Chain A
């Protein structure tokens, strides 16, 4: 059923909403005209990290100008919880405060401003309790949100002991705020007969639907959640929007009016979860070539006060601690630490980056110890083909393209000549030092929760020949809707302009998975294809009957159907089919094949396939201040057969710089009382325009179709490029090492802020004296 030539697949089509984005006409949740009389909500937040609430006096809040109502846990008719996995996330906490910024109550007022002002007027008395703030403190205290997990393969202790070289060390990597430009928001509108309409900026409308239903004491059939687009998500709108939507619904229920709850940026950053920060300890034994003989890796993450998605996040960190390297004898221990801080959550890569960043650090440590180029050591450890090709979770790496990909990038980026140029520069430059690093990415694609790997779509062909497609995925800027439109256009062989994609809505496609794990187009593209193929088959059968030919002789050309001697424009055939009572709408469904995985033993095939990539970063550091600059980046990234190279390039470039931000300028800083001090862009610095390097060469790997039968043999692209940013961190480490004696091991944790870099420079210089 393939078309004569591709209609849209593989073309650099613009984002389906680009013209709306640039004109300001794209409507986000806050832009939708709200019902007359809509009220505005705000949260009242705790001021302490840990303690009991002795008294909560909301009379001053109620007395504030414009205030209509206050809501607390007592106003929740159903379950006071928004935790999807473990029910340990109260919407409004009742007695116990477990982080500074935790919602205690809600205010409903006639304006957003009035609600925010009033929320600060509460009089709260606490009985303060000691707070655990860091993963290390929690680890020492044995405080965990979930049991620790372990994967052991082979005989790591014996292999480490027998290895020619051994190293051990500690390492820490900070968290990250999502900083989606559009903050969290929901609009709850009461409907007739106890039903609810919720507009929510969410990656997971079905979860919002369920949490709202449980909070209100109704069932899923009574709640419809709608989501046209988000102003960025990055994982921050996977589990967190349920809190916002449920609170808005409780406020709306109490007042009987529509309530919009839009978080101010500071509140958003204080009360919503972030990327988990990690603390690591490692011990490796390795050979003269740098190949790891055995490794013991300990990962301790700060989960915050509740479970949220910390289980699968930490599992994915364990799964990705190998990155591109075969760890034949390894012991991995993962601690999920409970702290009195905000509950950390999904963030692009979902623990994968936190696993990979450790092994990349270990590779660099080995190389410095041996005095070898880190790239040589990395290559010595790559997965093999036909040998050394099984991961520590017993999955065979069948699609390994690491060596050719890295080889090509090293050549095209002139890696070896630039390595020499960097050394020459450093020899002549006492104040500024340059560094260079190439790091690879191998990232597993699929939700590790196997049941999430399913999707649905709903396709309507109207009898005027226009088409609506709806599916369970959400659009957060990644271009999912553009790709799904391309799929439908390709399958029906029609101009994409005929197709309108509509807002994700739980009353169109039910039981949807979060748009997460990079799976959006893999899952929903296939579901949409399934629906389109049903329609196409019916149209083909109808045309064949009209022309008196076999259905497989019907040819779909661009907006034209040819069957024997007969030929119809698409709209004419549709009209004729309608009059002949042919069903012109259908649903589509997809579930990922091949995957299976036993969580008890951490073994199986949790991933359908892997996505690959590599980056070379060149940086300079200022040894007087620790400031850094990214000078140049070269990237080669694998997206299989690209559905849309413009969108895929956008994910690669954007993911890369977001990864650089995580490891360099983005620092979350809590004061000793456990209050987050970096809760606005004035203090929390994501990369700005001038942080994109002066020179860049970013390319998609061509002629590299996915070995698996994914949608048009493409590969997922949302998360994998994020980890290309590790190259920048390792390049900074390389520059710091240039300040010390050969073989020095810079004590540089991430993020590599100016202060962290200067401290590491001072340390390697002091050690060299």
Chain B
């Protein structure tokens, strides 16, 4: 197998080759400091403001997908085989502005203009991959990762409703455009072999073969596994963590797979949150609100479900739902594989039942069971792109006699790990799902968790809301007439 250190991606229609770069150089640093393309801005360097948004074009199922991502926390090393589109890429061959740019001008969507290139790129994603007549929800979703401090967003929303008002002659990126040349170009760039990037005291390995990846990790058990980098990026550019070895799994095609069998969905470690949620929503429509509120569109396009699970943060938003649904993880070390219930993976704060060199090869989500009621609720200061103060998930099966046959309740934000509410579950199991049982379960929750006070919420608030969310589940499961979720009013 060949070993090389070059990264090849398409930029402005030409193949761009990068060699000898420090493996942790971000796409933003590369654009601004190496290429002098200063249109892409740094607003926060942590993927929360979207001023750095660029679009990655990737081949999938024979067509090109356009994915807005945050350039500030994404390493250049992960661009191999893709097309990078920046705000400078959009001018027409005759110099005219692209429709998304012209719409923003015509509807007064920029004031200070600093966030604007990021909005342009998120709107490009909506224009190319979204509905022709996006409704407010589609627009909010597309722009969930972009902050604007000047406009109040109204003129940007209006612009987003008018992207298709403009002709597409001489426009480099337009919906339905013949993409055969772009597809052929990307096909010619498919990563192969193992790339090894060496920098000052740091090495990044990017294999393309799953066995090679497993072998490398077994050989370098101290390495940091890198997928979408939506957290690892911050370890580098905010926390300055000393990391000497990275293992990038995003170039392993076999890891970027979702398989469905009788047992459910098996989601590979390179599958983005965006793709994972699309598959999960087919099975569990109740995940819709969590999906929308899970970080932002650019973060979901980069970050992976397995990464969220393997990172194991106590406020990771996928785990409560996955635990409630009875998801399992498949761990791999070299050629050895084992499976665990997801909740058994988490031992203590940032400590897992996973030995050095062992990685999450898949998250396996069981198919919905007949009669199962499931809901998950996220509570945070802001609707979009916020981290949960509390996230609760509930899966319930009633027996024929109306008694609770099985119940799984899990919370994030309530303990050092995502955790099941054993006491509350016990208070419900075997009993009629009535108000008395609910009251006992809410009381039992107090014994299940000892949450912390921090900038997001106090311990008291977390305790109270955890119990209240359980009562919301009860209200919804037992069929209440009046709305019980704010999202129902929109």
Contacts and interface: CB of A to CB of B under 8 A. Distances in A.
Interface of A: 12, 14-15, 17-28, 30-31, 33, 65, 113, 116-117, 120, 178-183, 229-234, 264-266, 428-432, 476-479, 620-622, 624-629, 631, 646-647, 649-650, 653-658, 665, 667, 669, 671, 677-678, 680-683, 685-692, 694, 696, 698, 753-755, 758-759, 762
B379 A689 contact: no
B113 A17 contact: yes
Contact of A23 (B97, B389, B490): B97
B39 A647 contact: no
B156 to A, nearest CB: 7
A627 B484 CA distance: 12
Nearest to A475: B112
A625 B472 CA distance: 10
A631 B489 contact: yes
Contact of A15 (B45, B91, B110, B456): B110
B213 to A, nearest CB: 29
A231 B381 contact: no
B108 interface: yes
Given A14-B105, A431-B483, A23 B87 contact: yes
A247 B12 CA distance: 39
8 contacts: A14-B105, A22-B87, A22-B97, A180-B112, A232-B150, A629-B383, A689-B143, A689-B144
Contacts of B367: none
Contacts of A183: 43
A185 to B, nearest CB: 10
Given A265-B46, A625-B377, A696-B154, 18 more contacts: A120-B240, A180-B149, A181-B115, A232-B112, A431-B482, A624-B468, A624-B471, A625-B465, A626-B461, A654-B152, A681-B147, A683-B455, A688-B383, A688-B384, A692-B154, A694-B490, A754-B380, A754-B389
Given A14-B108, A19-B105, A627-B486, A26 B113 contact: yes
A692 B152 CA distance: 7
B8 interface: no
Contacts of B386: 685
A264 B237 CA distance: 10
A654 B464 contact: no
A653 B381 contact: no
A625 B468 contact: yes
Contacts of B484: 431-432, 622, 624
A650 B151 CA distance: 6
B152 A182 contact: no
Report, nearest first, the 7 A-B pairs whose CB atoms are least far apart. Answer: A24-B39, A231-B114, A477-B112, A21-B113, A657-B152, A477-B111, A24-B87
A690 B112 contact: no
B87 A181 contact: no
B288 to A, nearest CB: 14
B114 A181 contact: yes
B455 A30 contact: no
Contacts of A23: 39, 87-88, 90-91, 97, 101
B454 interface: yes
A653 B154 contact: yes
B151 A432 contact: no
Contacts of B454: 677
A231 B482 CA distance: 45
Interface of B is mostly: loop
Contacts of B482: 428-432
B139 A689 contact: yes
Interface residues of B, number: 93
Interface of B: 29, 32, 36-46, 48-49, 51, 86-88, 90-91, 97, 100-102, 104-106, 108-117, 120, 136, 139-140, 143-144, 146-157, 200, 237-238, 240, 377, 379-387, 389, 454-458, 461, 464-465, 468-469, 471-472, 475, 480, 482-486, 488-490
Nearest to A696: B154
A121 B155 CA distance: 45
Contacts of B41: 28, 181-182, 231
A698 B154 contact: yes
A478 B88 CA distance: 24
A602 B380 CA distance: 44
A293 B472 CA distance: 46
Nearest to B458: A755
A240 to B, nearest CB: 16
B123 to A, nearest CB: 10
Given A429-B483, A627-B486, A653-B151, A690 B384 contact: yes
A620 B105 contact: no
A210 B104 CA distance: 38
**Residue of A12, A231, A671 ringed by the most chain B CB atoms within 10 A:** A231
B44 A265 contact: yes
A626 B87 CA distance: 39
Contacts of B382: 665, 685, 687-688, 691
A681 B152 contact: no
A266 B238 contact: yes
A727 to B, nearest CB: 14
Contacts of A26: 113
B23 to A, nearest CB: 14
Contact of A24 (B88, B148, B456): B88
Residue among B49, B144, B149 facing the most chain A CB atoms (10 A cut-off): B149
Contact of A758 (B112, B464, B483): B464
Nearest to B37: A24
A444 B461 CA distance: 40
Contacts of B42: 30
Nearest to A656: B152
Nearest to B467: A624
A25 B40 CA distance: 10
B15 to A, nearest CB: 22
Contact of A622 (B38, B46, B457, B486): B486
B113 A20 contact: yes
A521 B253 CA distance: 58
B472 A624 contact: yes
Contacts of A691: 153, 382-384
A22 B116 contact: yes
A15 B136 contact: no
A30 B43 contact: no
B144 A231 contact: no
A487 B483 CA distance: 53
A17 B140 CA distance: 26
B157 A692 contact: yes
Contact of A229 (B109, B113, B384): B113
Contacts of B111: 15, 477-479, 650, 654
A620 B51 contact: no
A661 B32 CA distance: 31
Nearest to B461: A755
A683 B46 CA distance: 11
A18 B105 contact: yes
A428 B483 CA distance: 10
